[in-house]
Amino acid sequence: MANAALEHHNCTQFEKAIIELAPGICGAVGFAASCVYMIEGAKSVTIVDTSESTRAAENILAEFRQRTDKPVGRIIYTHSHRDHISGASVFAPDGNVPILASSSFSSDLVGVDMATIAPNKALGRRTQAQFGIGLSDAERISLGCGPGNRPMQGLGAGYLPPTQSIATDCDIDLDGVAARLIMAPGETSDHMVVFLPGTRVLFGGDNWYHAFPNLYAIRGTPYRDFAAWAQTLGMLAELGAEILAPGHTRPVFGAGNVCEVLTTTRDAIIHVMRQTASMMDQGLSMDDIAASIQLPQELAQKPWLGEFYGRIDWSARAFAAGTLGWYDGNPTHLGTLSSQQRATHLAQLAGGAQALMQAATSTEDLQWRLELCDHLLALDAPAHHSQARLLKADAMEALAEDEINATARNTYLWAAKLLRQVPGDPEQGETA
């Protein structure tokens, strides 16, 4: 079973379709995690973003070929995330098509220097968990930003590097279609959106999609600049676009609707920033901030601000860490106990490991059950280790059933499966 709102979001936003935005302009939605768009010019077409896999790109190109056989004249990357750049070789099989991107194009997933000091195994493990890699289609019903059931062949395999870097806003000709390329930092600092003044179509990349913005991705990302993202949304709203073609989810039609989704999402980001800062100023702990922060009702009721992809509590934690770092102002946290030391002390207070196990088994608070199971696993008591693993897996599966956030759901189910299949795996630290 899954959260009904998440299932509805998946069905309404990711139904596979080729959607006409304006004469000669269409988009492929639901074929992959991200959307791909085609702009038809006089003798060629422009492709905006290229999907996450070569198989998805092949399927999309076949659909586009039902509309025109004009060759691909150029590709535009809105930003560098892998799910937008990994099908380029399908649209440019000879590799001789110009590929335009921001001059700051730099991916945290593609072209990473593996020789640098970075937790690459942790990133890979957490990425698999977030996107439910290894889960069945029935388990992974959604990615929050795209359908869970999608072709995975050639995942990340079709990337081609940009051939033309765009440093500042500029007007260009797309074979007879006037366009403006605009620097628009948001989910990434290298975002570049495409605006067509003639038809008022805005290709916004991942600066907006029909979900609360992923201000922090639990797979692990550098700090995403909340203020820059909010400022960009305001700037995009002022363009007067009549059609918004996002990097994920279905397009938005109507100037009023476009303006509303952009400005309310901006306001939601600003609210998280202000509320988190205010509670930090009051000396609240990060746990207390995350447990209490919420959107005001006038924003929370907006369907496009549902926490299907990003989450407000995760965003508050990310803003706090991104602005003041890990220290929360409580001197207790200047020192630390290991997980085993803390578990030992807690077991002594409870009356032993068996008492902890009894508490974990009897509590109806699933979050508390997870934390108690973690203490039992940290004790590494053979008599309770197996039972604690299964009890934690059960709790995560129960949480997944009610979870509206797709990435949290996928992570719960992925980690639960790992706990059941690989007893005692030392690589599980962050997910199990």
pLDDT of residue 24: 97
Domains detected in the chain: 4-265 (3.60.15.30), 336-428 (1.25.40.880)
pLDDT, position 428: 42
The pLDDT score that the predictor gives to residue 110 is: 55
Q: Tell the residue number behind the tokens 């030392």, with chain if given.
A: 426
pLDDT in tens, 91-102: 999 989 999 999
In which element (H, E) is residue 244 found?
strand 243-246
Contact by Cβ (8 Å): 302, 264: yes
Sites in the chain below the pLDDT cut of 50? 114-115, 424-432
- Which residues touch 12 (CB under 8 Å, ≥6 apart)? 250
Q: Do 17 and 32 touch, CB atoms closer than 8 A?
A: no
Closest CA to 260 of 222, 296, 299: 299
- CA separation for the pair 284, 341 (Å, rounded): 26
Q: How far, in Å, CA of 248 to CA of 178, rounded?
A: 24
Q: Radius of gyration of the chain from Cα atoms? A: 23
Q: What is the pTM of this model?
A: 0.93
Q: What is the C-alpha to C-alpha distance for residues 307 and 90, in angstroms, rounded to an integer?
A: 33
φ, ψ dihedrals at 44, nearest 5°: -150, 170
| pLDDT score, position 67 | 97
Evaluate whether 255 touches 268 at the Cβ level (below 8 Å): no
Q: Tell me, what's the pLDDT at 383?
A: 84
CA geometry: angle at 275 spanning 272 and 278, to 5°?
Answer: 145
What tens digit of pLDDT does each residue of 169-193 get?
999 999 999 999 999 999 999 999 9
Nearest in space to 410 (alpha carbons), one of 219, 273, 265: 219
